Amino acid sequence: ERADRSKPINVEADSWFGEEKTKVSTYEGNVVITQGTLLMRADKAVIRQDAEGNYHAIANGRPLTYREKRDEADDFIEGQADRMEYNGKLGQLQLFGKAKLKRGNDEVRGDYIFYDQLVGTFKVGPEAGAKTTTPGRVRMVLQPAQKDSKEAPKPADSTPPTALKPSSSISKPREE
Amino acid sequence: MNADRSALWAPLLITAALAAGTFWLDRVSRLPDTQRDASTGGKPDVTMERFKATQTGENGAAQYQVTAAKMQHYQQGNYTDLFTVEMVDMTPRRPPMRIVAESVRLSHNDENYYFNGITHITREADAQRSAMKLTTSKLWVWPERGVSTTDQAVDIRDDYMHITAVGMDLDRNLGTIKLKSRVRATYVKPPA
């Protein structure tokens, strides 16, 4: 969700190594990163802060998992991969290696997935500029949009069938 | 008659025996002054009030300064106890770092300062970094080598983040901090 961007980032880990000059923090062991609805679990995460105060992260896991609520829907987008790069300024997420992204019932898999959180779009395929001898396969499952059952289509003739009742005016048939 | 007299003396004898035993136990359990003093360095051979010392490097520039309300030096143990202490690291081209604690033991064997009790470290802001505050309950500092370490809980804050953990190694020369376990960090948007 876009609102997540303004929330504090919380990180839990087994150990931390900080370098004052570069302002780079390295977290290792059972790393859990949360920011609003965003939840990420990894083995290692390197968080850097740029001059304008935006945070950028690179994380590794076996696999690392990522989950965040979507703005326009009451569900989550979930991802996993071997490595993830996150650009806090542009709100862009890149998943590398056995990458998978699930949005509602749709799911995409590939060697590389690029997800733009602000726009809500993603790209799947080989990593840009990657020298892959055998291009990784991309697999995408997009579920047809389910219509609501309340609006099921009415039959062509919409007049209700007439109920048959015995007639009082017609006389008995004549015996021939 | 004799039975009466012994009935009278018996409680007195028992009380006397108990008193003697207590006195003997007290003497045995109390270490002789010399033995205790040897383990704690004996009696201070020098005591100073409102003490201030500045350590300079080879080029004569001030490296760090220690001020204390009271200082006691122990010849035998080769250490100095300082009370209400402030140590300021004045290494050039770096924002000053200040360590404050209620009591410190300076061991002269390896020039190690053992800050015992609540210890506060503050580093002033500079062009790249905001001011930093660090609190812990014990800290070992080797100012000559620019390193400090603790196995206790630490709490570190600056304008961007608040982090707690247990166990820390700080290297002033490299400008690095390693937190060893139970790390919890919160990154906040810096004040506008």
Residue B16 counted as domain residue: yes
ipTM of the complex: 0.72
Residue percentage of chain A with pLDDT more than 70? 70
Task: Tell me, yes or no, whether B158 lies in a domain.
Answer: yes
Residue B36's pLDDT is 38
Q: B57 and B144 share a domain?
A: yes
Residue B110: inside a domain: yes
Residues B112, B22 share a domain: no
For residue B109, being part of any structural domain is answered with yes
Distance CA B97, CA B89 (A): 5
Q: Which residues of A touch B (CB under 8 A)?
A: 6, 8-21, 23, 25, 27, 47, 49, 53, 55
**Which residue of A14, A16, A25, A48 is the best one to mutate when testing the B interface, meaning the one whose CB has the most B CBs within 10 A?**
A16
B12/B59 same-domain check: no
Any A CB within 8 A of B178 CB: yes
Q: Give B35-65 as a DSSP string.
A: HHHHHHTSS-SEEEEEEEEEEE-TTS-EEEE
Around A69, how many Cα atoms within 13 Å sit in the side-chain half-sphere? 13
**Structural domain range at position B92:** 46-187
The verdict on B103 and B165 lying in the same domain is yes
Query: What distance in Å separates the CA atoms of residue A157 and residue A88, rounded to the nearest whole number?
Result: 57
| B12 and B83 share one domain | no
Q: State residue A106's pLDDT score.
A: 83
Q: Are residues B80 and B168 in the same domain?
A: yes
Q: B23 and B50 share a domain?
A: no
- Total domain count, chain B: 2
The answer on B25 and B68 residing in a single domain is: no
* B26 and B94 co-located in one domain: no
The whole-model pTM stands at 0.73
Distance CA B49, CA A24 (A): 44
What pLDDT does B165 receive? 98
pLDDT at residue A79, rounded to an integer: 92
The CATH number for B123's domain is 2.60.450.10
Is the bond preceding A161 in cis, omega lying within 30 degrees of 0? no
Residue type at B92 in one-letter notation: P
pLDDT, residue B40, reads 54
In this predicted structure, what is the pLDDT of residue A67?
92
Residue A147 has pLDDT above 60, yes or no: no
Residue with tokens 């205790």: B36
Q: Is residue B40 part of a domain?
A: no
Category of B117 on φ-ψ map: left (φ > 0), alpha (ψ -120 to 50) or beta: left
* Spatial separation of the C-alpha atoms in residues A51 and B40, rounded to whole Å: 52
B144 Cβ neighbours under 8 A, 6+ residues apart: B55, B63, B111
Whether B159 and B81 share a structural domain: yes
Tell whether B25 and B55 lie within a shared domain: no
Q: Among A10-24, A62-76, A136-150, B40-54, name the one with the lowest average pLDDT.
A: A136-150
Q: Are residues B10 and B80 in the same domain?
A: no
pLDDT tens, residue by residue, A80-117: 999 999 998 888 889 999 999 888 788 888 999 998 87
- Count the Cβ atoms, other than its own, within 10 Å of residue A114: 19
What mean pLDDT, rounded, does chain A reach? 79
* Tens digit of each residue's pLDDT (9 = 90 or more) over A19-63: 888 889 999 999 999 989 999 999 999 998 887 878 899 999 999
**Contact residues on chain B for A6, CB-CB shorter than 8 A:** 189
Average pLDDT of adjacent 10-residue blocks, chain B of 192 residues: 65 80 63 43 87 87 91 90 93 86 91 93 86 94 91 93 96 92 87 51
Taking CB atoms and an 8 Å cutoff, what residues of chain A touch B158?
none
| Chains A–B, number of C-beta pairs less than 8 Å apart | 68
